[in-house]
Structure 1
């Protein structure tokens, strides 16, 4: 059984009097501990698929099971609980709060979960240290580079020990060196912590950091590729 089991899901939006199918009867299964890249041109449906996987949107038809639970049948409050306790999110634009330092930004998910102050700070600092930013914990976002801000965002995503990380164009605002650093962190989290990672990207070289690439075209899965990584890559 996969961690993510999607069967025949479609998502239709209304544009005035016209119905637009963003995705059409997609069926995929993503194993626990996999690292998947969803790739496709603009308008292909990849973001819609990501939003459904992340419980930010519901399919118009079809079924979606997450860890065996039929999430497509849950209400908005139940979906919010799953997002908060089961998932971590990383976005292209970081979404850090400018008035909070790095440590305080990473603490935010734990505040929502009711984790007390001392334990909260301990876990947030450990998360920052795991992405190489322990010494930058008191720095404000404006004092950090783009790559460092994204690493803070990753620390925030993992501080709750999620089973699943969803990353939407995580390197889209970064230079090539910072992009490689971010993807190396994702690979390490996937390999060492067994966190399942699903990322959306339009960059082929970024997509190939994953174990599988799901190519989506015109709202449908065009093909699925398996990426073979060398032993040297795995040990980096």
Structure 2
């Protein structure tokens, strides 16, 4: 069943004297357990779509449902709850707090849920272990490689058991070998834990880790590509 449904979603805004249609009548249905990639040239609307999916921006028109809940007209506090309870985020630049160690960075979303210190610790260690960093939990970001920092970011994104993981250029700051290891973690999260993944990427090799690629151009879905996996 669909965990995400966009119906006739449009987003427009003014940039000085110019009126820009960032998205036009987007219709998109994402089922539980899907692994979706979104590709397109600069200015195609990729980031705008991800921001709307992540409840970080509101559409100008259309309807958006996540896990059966209409969100496009929710207030800020309700949107914050959706982000905390249902979504996990992974960004190109990691967004780790430099003064906190790996464990403390992963615990952050759980603090906002009001969980006890012992429960936060247990869940955070489990999340870091799932990305192969159980030996690095007390290291700060400056003591970790780029790939390790992204693994911490992934652990932080999944520690609250989100329904959907949203990733914005998750391998953009990494070399090809490290990128491959990160995408293998994504595949495992999708295959073994059933987490729905939506990623924006400009790299075809990264996009092909997903099941389906949505190609955007000028704010519209230009075509949909089903990925054929090699046996």
Q: TM-score, normalised by structure 2?
A: 0.98
Aligned-pair CA distance for 1:87: 0.5
Q: What's the CA shift string for 1:165-215, capped at 9, x where partnerless?
A: 000000000000110000000000000110000000000000000000000
* Distance of 1:215 and 1:17 partners within structure 2: 29
Counterparts of 1:9-20 in structure 2, within 5 Å, are 9-20=9-20
Query: In 1, distance between residues paired with 2:109 and 2:5?
Result: 26
Report the Cα offset of residue 133 of structure 1: 0.3
Match of 1:29 in 2: 29
Aligned to 1:85: 85
1:80-159 maps to which residues of 2 (within 5 A)?
A: 80-159=80-159
Taking the aligned partners of 2:135 and 2:94, their CA distance within structure 1 comes to 19
Aligned residue in 2 for 1:63: 63
For 2:138 and 2:155, how far apart are their aligned partners in 1? Answer: 14
Q: Could you list the runs of 5+ residues in structure 2 that have no partner in the other structure?
A: none
For residues 29 and 224 of structure 2, the distance between their equivalents in structure 1, rounded to whole angstroms, comes to 11
Shift of 1:16: 2.2
How far did residue 68 of structure 1 move? 1.4
1:211 matched residue in structure 2: 211
Tell me the TM-score normalized by structure 1: 0.96
Deviation at 1:144, TM superposition (A): 0.5
SS at match of 1:3: strand
Give distance in 2, aligned partners of 1:149 and 1:18: 39
Distance 1:171 1:101 in 2: 22
Correspondence for 1:234: none
d(CA) in 1 for partners of 2:230, 2:109: 36
Q: Write out per-residue CA displacement over residues 93-145 of structure 1, whole angstroms, 9 at most, x where no aligned residue.
A: 00111111111110111111111011111110000000000000011111100
d(CA) in 1 for partners of 2:67, 2:108: 25
- Structure 1 residue ranges (4+ consecutive) displaced by more than 4 angstroms after TM superposition: none
Cα offset, 1:230, TM superposition: 3.4
Q: Name the count of aligned residue pairs.
A: 231
Distance of 2:229 and 2:31 partners within structure 1: 18
> How far 1:77 sits from its partner (Å)?
1.0
- Please say if 1:202 is aligned against 2:173: no
Question: What is the CA–CA distance in structure 2 between the aligned matches of 1:141 and 1:208, rounded to whole Å?
Answer: 29
Return the alpha-carbon distance in structure 1 between the equivalents of residues 18 and 147 of structure 2.
41
